[in-house]
């Protein structure tokens, strides 16, 4: 057992007569390791992209909310009256009447 461990540590399994199958296995394992590393990098890249997009969505929601509140403020009757005063437009003193058209 002790001799086998020394042989592995010295690398004799790579230069022995049947070393071709060992080299094939090492190349296969190296290929799997490279594929695993590439897959890990790809997944990490996607995680960063998802985080960036989530931040962008949050920012757009904030802009939407600000725009909606600004619109609500501008649609208020008092703000419309204030904006129309310089043009000489005043609110009606009498309420509007409904016109019904019969065919």
Give the predicted TM-score (pTM) of the model. 0.57
User: Residues in the chain, how many?
Assistant: 103
DSSP state of 87: G
Interacting residues of 16 by C-beta distance below 8 A, sequence separation 6+: 22
pLDDT tens, 23-78?
888 899 999 999 999 999 999 999 999 999 999 999 999 999 999 999 999 999 88
- Residues 78-96 have a mean pLDDT of 88
The CA–CA distances, whole Å, from 90 to 8, 75, 96 equal: 97, 16, 14
Instruction: Give CA–CA dist 58/48, Å, rounded.
Output: 15
User: What pLDDT shows up at residue 41?
Assistant: 97
- Residues 14-22 have a mean pLDDT of 74
């Amino acid at each position: 057992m002790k001799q086998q461990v020394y042989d592995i540590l010295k690398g004799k399994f790579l230069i022995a007569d049947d070393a071709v199958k060992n080299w094939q296995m090492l190349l296969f394992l190296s290929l799997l390791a490279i594929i695993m590393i590439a897959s890990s990098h790809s997944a990490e890249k996607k995680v960063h992209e998802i985080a960036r997009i989530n931040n962008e969505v949050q920012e757009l929601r904030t802009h939407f909310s600000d725009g909606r509140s600004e619109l609500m403020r501008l649609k208020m009757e008092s703000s419309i009256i204030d904006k129309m005063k310089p043009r000489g437009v005043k609110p009606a003193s009498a309420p509007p009447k409904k016109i019904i058209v019969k065919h």
